[in-house]
């Protein structure tokens, strides 16, 4: 998200208008969760994704059609099974996508996105609020937008209702996007303080307990497995994302960056090794692997035989989780998510003083 807002700001600095597609009010297994964004430039090139496939192609076409008319619109979608397969989903889903025209000639937009980049870079709290009014065929949706920081300072064109501001600033710990009806308008409220993304490798019974807990403390959570019957909606309800892959031996391209937290809890040592070998040199903020110290040492030794250095595993938290004497899947989930929250908090504090890259070193005993 940091990169996406930076791209938006740079386009406005260059005087180039563009459209932003944002998923909201989703139900079912749509390709991305609420808040997923994609920038569409006037030449049809994009930055970011809302899931690929036919849905994304249709949105790009609509955005290009709307931009010359300087219109903002809401597009409903209802994916069929065939659409879902094309987007590598398990089943279809429905919802709405806001296609928002961002006018480079409006000075408010440059101010809003300059401060958005600043807030996101510093890990501060802020809310991007889009007011959606009535729609007309000639002008599209009447929209206004503002940025509100933690001090209730407002940048932009909306005189936000005091009730709405109080509700935002006293909101729950859950960090998400939501569309709210108020005063006969819809407010699209997007918190800028990103909770990070947890990639759960493995969809077993431990992941079943981890996923809802990580969502509840503000992480976007993605469960990855090679078994469709395990990575299923029966086992993992919304808003947890599910991705069924062909094999753990060669992971698909994932959006792993400094706001990513990798939790390796597959169904066996071999699969854990395959994932760790591909993950250990990533830029993830956290890498953790389940298992005993003896299992961990065997996994490390096997990966080192493929040309890796011993010190590369200093960043891996294994055995995973805070030591609370956890035994049951529920207790293990608490210990793991507690560790994720701790690492995230330390990362946010460190980011105020430096631009550190890569995973935070794990403070527990490493392999000898």
Q: Is 159 exposed, middle or buried (0-12, 13-18, 19+ CB in 10 A)?
A: exposed
d(C-alpha 238, C-alpha 31), whole Å: 12
pLDDT at residue 94, as a whole number: 72
353-364 CB burial, b ≥16 within 10 A, e <16: eeeeeebbebee
What backbone torsions phi and psi does residue 213 show, to the nearest 5 degrees? -70, -40
Determine the pLDDT at residue 347. Answer: 80
User: What residue ranges define each of the domains in the chain, with the CATH number in brackets?
Assistant: 2-191 (no CATH), 197-351 (3.40.50.720)
Q: Is 286 in contact with 201 (CB distance < 8 Å)?
A: no
Beta bridge mates, 23: 97
What count of Cα atoms within 13 Å lies in the side-chain half-sphere of residue 58?
Answer: 15
- Reference 6, options 224, 234, 192, 138; nearest CA is 192
Using CA atoms of 124, 192, 184, 79 in order, give the dihedral in degrees to the nearest 10.
Answer: -170
What pLDDT was estimated at residue 27?
52
Non-local CB neighbours of 244 within 8 Å, separated by 6+ positions = 88, 90, 225, 226, 227, 228, 231
| Chain centroid, CA 334 distance in Å | 21
**pLDDT 10s per residue in the chain (368 long)?**
778 999 999 999 999 999 999 987 655 444 445 678 899 999 999 998 887 788 889 999 999 999 999 999 988 887 654 544 444 444 456 778 999 999 999 999 999 999 999 988 776 778 888 888 777 777 788 888 888 887 778 888 666 566 666 665 555 433 344 455 555 667 787 877 667 899 999 999 999 999 999 988 878 899 999 999 999 999 998 778 899 999 999 999 888 988 899 999 999 999 999 999 999 999 999 999 999 999 999 999 999 999 999 999 999 999 999 999 999 999 999 999 999 999 988 886 666 554 444 555 564 444 43
* Residue owning tokens 């010359």: 68
Cβ-Cβ contacts under 8 Å for 243 (sequence gap 6 or more) = 88, 222, 223, 224, 225, 231, 252
pLDDT at 182: 55
* Rounded Cα–Cα distance for residues 255 and 308 (Å): 23
Classify strands 73-78 and 93-102 as parallel, antiparallel or unpaired: antiparallel
Q: Is 216 left (phi over 0), alpha (psi -120 to 50) or beta?
A: alpha
Contact between 79 and 30 under an 8 Å Cβ cutoff? The reply is yes
Sign of the alpha-carbon torsion through 45, 64, 176, 110 = positive
pTM above 0.95, yes or no: no
């Amino acid at each position: 998200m940091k990169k996406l807002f930076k791209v938006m700001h740079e386009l406005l600095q260059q005087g180039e208008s563009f459209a932003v597609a944002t998923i909201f009010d989703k139900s079912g297994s749509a390709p991305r969760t609420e808040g997923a964004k994609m920038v569409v430039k006037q030449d049809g090139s994009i930055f970011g994704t809302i899931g690929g496939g036919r849905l994304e192609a249709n949105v790009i076409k609509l955005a290009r059609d709307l931009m010359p008319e300087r219109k903002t619109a809401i597009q409903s979608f209802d994916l069929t099974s065939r659409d879902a397969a094309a987007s590598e989903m398990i089943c279809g889903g429905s919802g709405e996508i806001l296609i928002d025209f961002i006018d480079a000639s409006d000075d408010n937009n440059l101010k809003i996105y300059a401060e958005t980049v600043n807030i996101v870079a510093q890990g501060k709290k802020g809310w991007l609020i889009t007011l959606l009014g009535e729609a007309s065929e000639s002008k599209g949706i009447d929209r206004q937008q503002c940025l509100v920081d933690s001090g209730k300072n407002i940048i932009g064109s909306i005189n936000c209702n005091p009730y709405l501001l109080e509700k935002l600033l006293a909101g729950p710990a859950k960090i998400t996007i939501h569309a709210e009806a108020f005063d006969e308008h819809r407010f699209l409220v997007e918190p800028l303080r990103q909770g990070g993304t947890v990639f759960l490798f493995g969809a077993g019974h431990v992941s079943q307990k981890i996923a809802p807990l990580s969502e509840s403390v503000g992480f976007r959570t993605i469960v990855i497995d090679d078994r469709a019957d395990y990575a299923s909606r029966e086992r993992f309800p919304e808003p947890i994302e599910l991705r069924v892959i062909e094999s753990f031996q060669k992971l698909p391209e994932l959006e792993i960056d400094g706001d990513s937290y990798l939790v390796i809890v597959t169904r066996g040592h071999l699969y854990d090794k395959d994932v760790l070998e591909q993950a250990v040199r990533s830029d993830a903020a956290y890498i953790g692997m389940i298992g005993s110290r003896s299992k961990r040492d065997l996994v490390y030794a096997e990966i080192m035989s493929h040309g890796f250095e011993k010190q590369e595993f200093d960043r891996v938290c294994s055995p995973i989780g805070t030591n609370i004497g956890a035994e049951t899947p529920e207790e293990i989930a608490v210990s793991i998510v507690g560790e994720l929250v701790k690492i995230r908090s330390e990362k946010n504090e460190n980011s105020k003083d430096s631009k550190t890259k890569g995973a935070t070193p794990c403070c527990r005993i490493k392999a000898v």
